[in-house]
Amino acid sequence: MPTAADARPRLEQLSTDLAGAFARDYPGQPWLPVRYGDTSMVTDSSGTCVLWIGTLRSQDSLYALAGNWDAVMKTIYPVLKKGGFAPITHTDSLKGGYTGISSTDGHGGRLNMFEKGPMDISVSAKVSDKDCSGVAP
């Protein structure tokens, strides 16, 4: 597992590159930081420290703009490949009317994209830091 200091730049770049790919393919769709969705570190239910990169949210449904998840997957495939994340081949089963897709890398990183209206992009990674106080390095 990487440290938060090692994982953060890589995950922030992934988030930036994803927003850039969407801006290119779906111009006029702003990606804004989610209020209270700042980068932080938390301990999950298994006791592992997790680095969360600030969540980005679209103004509208990206799924609706794209027409389907396959179009979204095609847009982000080069970004995932560059970032060392697995290609996405199917949608996730989510509760509460949400729909989404996800991917992982070989270093504890996880990308979640989900929506029920506007889409959220959430990037996280399990990290080896002993101090998981909430302040990300």
CA atoms within 13 A on the CB side of 105: 22
The domain made up of 4-127 is a member of CATH 2.60.40.10: no
pTM of the model: 0.90
- What confidence score (pLDDT) does residue 54 get? 87
- CA distance linking residue 3 with residue 103, whole number of Å: 20
Q: Please calculate the CA angle 46-33-37 and round it to the nearest 5 degrees.
A: 30
How do strand 49-58 and strand 40-43 relate by DSSP bridges? antiparallel
DSSP 8-state secondary structure symbol assigned to residue 105? B
Which pLDDT value is given to residue 72?
Answer: 94
For residues 50 and 126, the answer to whether their CB atoms sit within 8 Å is: yes
Provide the residue ranges of all domains of the chain, joining segments of one domain with +.
4-127
pLDDT of 137 above 80: no
Q: What is the pLDDT of residues 76-133, one digit of tens each?
A: 999 999 999 999 999 998 999 899 999 999 999 999 999 998 999 999 999 999 999 8
Q: What percent of the chain has pLDDT over 90?
A: 75
Read off the pLDDT of each residue in 6-21 and give the average, rounded to a whole number: 94
Q: Give alpha helix (H) positions in 84-123.
A: none
Give the chain's mean pLDDT: 92
The pLDDT of residue 11 is 95
Residue 29: its pLDDT value, please?
Answer: 84
Positive or negative torsion for Cα 82, 84, 87, 90? negative
What digits encode the pLDDT tens for the residues 31-48? 888 877 788 999 999 999
Whole-angstrom Cα Rg for the chain: 15
